[in-house]
Amino acid sequence: MTGQPAGDVAVKVDGVHKAFRLPKEQVHTLKERVLHPLRRQRFETLHALRDVSFEVRAGEVFGIVGRNGSGKSTLMKCLAGIYQSDGGEMWLRGRMAPFIELGVGFNPDLTAHDNVLINAVMLGLSPDEARKRYSSILDFAELHDFAELKLKNYSSGMQVRLAFSVMVHVDADLLLIDEVLAVGDAAFQQKCYDVLNRLRDEGKTILLVTHDMSQVQRFCDRALLLERGELQAIGDCETVSRRYTQVNFAVPEYTGEDGEAEIEEGEEGEDAQVVEVWAQDGVGQRGAAIIQGASNALMMRVFFRRGARDPVFSFWLSDEKHRRVLAVTSEHDVGPSGVFKPGEQVIAGASFDNWLAPGRYAVTAQVSYRGTGDRIMALAEDAGSMIVTGARPGGGIVDLPHAFFVQKLDSKHPAAQAVEPAAG
């Protein structure tokens, strides 16, 4: 199936391969080169994509799912013309706009007007087209009153609104979206979904990269699953979702030294492995958005390679600004956790009522040997995510249950007399 794709195909990927050469020791200066001219640089080859083939029909919303490091972003960047693929062919039909990140090219020292112009031109409009759409872009972002303000004086929410508005106005036939929707508060995410639905109705082809299966099921017509750079499954969302669960929640086989390097982001521990990390709501629904104030739980599944007595399980949550907002360990709450043999699997969880501010949080899970906690058995950094939605974003890190009251003091009240201004 090489060559031009059939008439209704918008994206055709045929046998695409991509490898990265990672230097084992980074040589960054000439001096090191000069001092060690004979030392050949050693490289590790990392196969980010292996022989990936698929087709997306025009007008489809297509999900690309996989864990961190499965190659989904690499695939996106190859399609977007950012990376050069090492083999295979890719065909596109229609104007393509990549949304790897919102607000590419934004400069904090320039006004909204200038930033809209750069961003839109980066995404494929001509400066003239961008100028013509400027007013409509500001309208959509509801930022007309702030047009002459420098971007650095915008709140982060305003910046995201502006960036998203540009993205909507680029008018591409083919959109590559890489987890852009994961930013912003619940109201903004809703707006994103509305827009995506409208774009779908307009017949745009959308490729959505995500590790969030609930997003795929909500949105996509079809999806594919990548795992370690290989296409694991392709088809309707249910099938892919089932396969995703199988692949990710399978018992890892311990085979000793692995021959080939894989992209694993901190998921490989020494003596144990955190197989999966997730957040669930009060009824055990994984990955669901947690309504503020509702009960929820952080969960991890751990596979022990070596035995351990009373290991300590911990979770911590960090917000989008990488501030650690919550840390809990089994040591304080459970005490001795028991004896675990090699090959055993454990589910550990911490449930709590969620009073965090609306937003997205990264979940880190760790298992360490009993004691000070610095002998780590397994660590999975930012391996899961949790989205909290709420109606009243207060601007704080948490929004604890509270009662607010306002009371008028009558003038005879001693407290009122005490604060009476002297001049009055």
Residues forming contacts to another protein in the complex (CB under 8 A) are: 4-5, 7-10, 12, 20, 28-31, 33, 58-59, 77-85, 89-94, 98, 100-101, 104-105, 107, 109-110, 114, 117-118, 121-124, 126-127, 171, 173, 198, 201-205
* Min CB(32)–another protein separation in Å: 10
For the packed helices 186-201 and 156-169, what is the interaxial angle rounded to 10 degrees? 0
Instruction: State whether residue 333 is helix, strand or coil.
Output: helix
Q: CA-CA distance, 316 to 92, in Å (whole number)? A: 42
- Joined together, the tokens standing for residue 297 give 């739980």
Name the nearest CA neighbour of 1 among 90, 61, 77. Answer: 90
| Cβ distance to another protein smaller for residue 171 or 212 | 171
* Min CB(408)–another protein separation in Å: 47
* Min CB(75)–another protein separation in Å: 12
Specify whether the CB–CB gap between 274 and 380 falls below 8 A.
yes
* Min CB(81)–another protein separation in Å: 3
| Cβ distance to another protein smaller for residue 177 or 356 | 177
Instruction: State whether residue 8 is helix, strand or coil.
Output: coil
| Cβ distance to another protein smaller for residue 90 or 247 | 90
* Min CB(150)–another protein separation in Å: 8
* Min CB(86)–another protein separation in Å: 10
- Joined together, the tokens standing for residue 208 give 């959505």
Q: CA-CA distance, 250 to 258, in Å (whole number)? A: 18
* Min CB(125)–another protein separation in Å: 8
Q: DSSP characters for 27-47?
A: --SHHHHHH-SS-PPPEEEEE
> Would you state the torsion angle of the CA atoms of residues 214, 365, 256, 48, taken in this order, to the nearest 10 degrees?
50
* Min CB(22)–another protein separation in Å: 10
Q: DSSP characters for 148-205?
A: TSBGGGS-HHHHHHHHHHHHHHT--SEEEEESGGGSS-HHHHHHHHHHHHHHHHTT-E
Q: CA-CA distance, 361 to 359, in Å (whole number)? A: 7
* Min CB(296)–another protein separation in Å: 33
| Cβ distance to another protein smaller for residue 43 or 249 | 43
| Cβ distance to another protein smaller for residue 27 or 347 | 27
Compute CA distances 290 → 282, 320, 396, whole Å: 9, 16, 17
Name the nearest CA neighbour of 380 among 302, 305, 320, 306. Answer: 302
| Cβ distance to another protein smaller for residue 6 or 403 | 6
* Min CB(248)–another protein separation in Å: 27
Specify whether the CB–CB gap between 330 and 313 falls below 8 A.
yes
| Cβ distance to another protein smaller for residue 162 or 308 | 162
* Min CB(359)–another protein separation in Å: 23
| Cβ distance to another protein smaller for residue 136 or 295 | 136
| Cβ distance to another protein smaller for residue 100 or 334 | 100
Specify whether the CB–CB gap between 353 and 294 falls below 8 A.
yes
Specify whether the CB–CB gap between 315 and 362 falls below 8 A.
no
| Cβ distance to another protein smaller for residue 207 or 348 | 207
Compute CA distances 416 → 404, 405, 413, 424, whole Å: 20, 17, 5, 13
Compute CA distances 227 → 52, 224, 405, whole Å: 11, 10, 54
| Cβ distance to another protein smaller for residue 129 or 319 | 129
Q: CA-CA distance, 329 to 313, in Å (whole number)? A: 6
